Amino acid sequence: MTSSEKQLPIDLGHLSLETLERLQKEVEERKKVLQAKKKPGRKPGDLSNDRLRTLVEAHLAIEAQEAAEAGTLGYMARALTLATMPHSKQEGNEFHRKNGAFSMSMLAPSNVGLPYGSKPRLLVAYLTTEAVRKGERDIILGDSLSDFMRELGLQPTGGRWGSITGLKQQMTRLFSSSVHCQWENKDSTSIANMPIVSKAQLWWDPKNPDQTGLWESTVRLGEDFFAEVVANPIPIDLRAVRAIKQSPMALDIYFWLTHRLSYLKKSYARDIPWAALQMQFGSNYPTTAQGIRDFRKQFMGQMRKVLTVYPEARVEDSASGLILKPSPSHIPRLIPKK
């Protein structure tokens, strides 16, 4: 997050001096751990001082105030958490990933192309959050492009390679795509075909992102996609999402880890093979022994970023796979008011 981006206020007034000192000590210890892991040369997950500061500040904010209390409780679509979108640009117009009995295919018109990178993930999180909060398919994106980009945690920049052009391209790709989900078990097969968006009307002028349009830009979610995200939303902390927004794999790991640890049995550790994680998160790597080693290295590099904003997650890197241990949920379960 740059200094010019809008930052959410952190209310520390309800915390005792002892708690504040403990939080600050934890942050300093986390800094030392991450810096000690940095070695000469650029390796997956290496952090610059600015990125490290952003991640640590997000951790401090999350520790100080729960997401619901801070107004940063968001949601992610379950289907795109169990299996993920492309990390990089794809040549074709169909993309496939698998997670155990669940498989997901994303399709887009060949003249448009598939969405990829961080921006589609931020967009899906925004749309899912708005759908869950308001219970409506029609999502208002706002009067100006600049305001909407700041809602996503993006700083508007112009030019061919600027964030405005990139977001516009990824919005077109995402809103033109549909998701095919399939669940296989011993006795049955379940199939769902879901256009993400059934209709979009964007009135913004990319050349004047601060200009307010005559009409509000809106998106209508596909009927089945809307029903799925409202029925099965994955709770997330939007502060964590903004802190790691530069890495699509880190975002995918955070969404998945938050969901997976929320239902891991208290006395049960789960060892997930690297080959299975590669099918879920990194299908661009070859399915060879070297490909799995390369994927593991990249995955754990991005995991370090996630653990900075979610340090309560207990995970262990083993030769056979990633070991998940019972951990506190990143988003505490809400107790219904009587």
| Cα 274 from Cα 209, distance rounded (Å) | 43
Q: Which residue has the higher pLDDT, 88 or 41?
A: 88
Q: Using one digit for the tens of pLDDT, what is the confidence trace for 278-301?
A: 999 976 788 899 999 999 999 999
- For residue 169, is pLDDT > 70? yes
Give the global pTM. Answer: 0.80
The answer to the question of residue 316 being in a domain is: no
The answer to the question of residue 321 being in a domain is: no
The answer to the question of residue 10 being in a domain is: no
- Please give the residue range of the domain that contains residue 183: 74-235
Q: Using one digit for the tens of pLDDT, what is the confidence trace for 247-286?
A: 999 999 999 999 999 888 776 788 999 999 999 997 678 8
The answer to the question of residue 263 being in a domain is: no
Q: At what angle do helices 118-134 and 248-262 cross, to 10 degrees?
A: 40
The answer to the question of residue 54 being in a domain is: no
| Cα 228 from Cα 224, distance rounded (Å) | 6
Q: Using one digit for the tens of pLDDT, what is the confidence trace for 66-110?
A: 777 767 899 999 999 999 999 999 999 999 999 989 999 999 999
The answer to the question of residue 278 being in a domain is: no
Closest CA to 153 of 231, 80, 88, 241: 241
Q: Do residues 163 and 155 touch, judged by C-beta distance below 8 A?
A: yes
The answer to the question of residue 52 being in a domain is: no
Number of domains the chain is built from: 1
The answer to the question of residue 305 being in a domain is: no
